[in-house]
């Protein structure tokens, strides 16, 4: 989470494994370096957006539970 969330060693390892496997697959498929970067950046962006959405839902649930 870019707002000071928590991460785990396992989550970091799985993220690195996913991105490096994806990069290797794109190399084997002879995808141009530009598109490799676009795909990798898209995956990272998707992860950040999902994290922000999850954080937002948690906050909304906590606010509605305390009201």
CA distance 45 to 30: 23
- Find the length of the chain: 67
pLDDT on residue 62: 73
Residue 18 and residue 43 in contact, taking contact as beta carbons nearer than 8 Å = yes
Is the pLDDT confidence value at 1 over 70? Answer: no
Of 5, 7, 15, which Cα lies nearest the Cα of 47?
15
Q: In this predicted model, what pLDDT tens digit does every residue of 14-32 receive, in sequence order?
A: 989 999 999 999 999 999 9
Q: How many Å apart are CA 38 and CA 27, to the nearest integer? A: 13
> pTM for this one?
0.71
Residue with tokens 């990272």: 44
Q: Quick one: pLDDT at residue 4?
A: 63
């Amino acid at each position: 989470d870019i707002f000071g969330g928590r991460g785990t060693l396992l989550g970091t390892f799985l993220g690195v494994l996913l991105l490096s496997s994806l990069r290797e697959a794109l190399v084997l498929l002879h995808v141009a370096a530009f598109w490799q970067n676009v795909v990798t950046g898209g995956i990272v962006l998707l992860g950040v957006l999902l994290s922000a959405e999850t954080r937002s839902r948690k906050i909304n649930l906590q606010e509605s539970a305390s009201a």
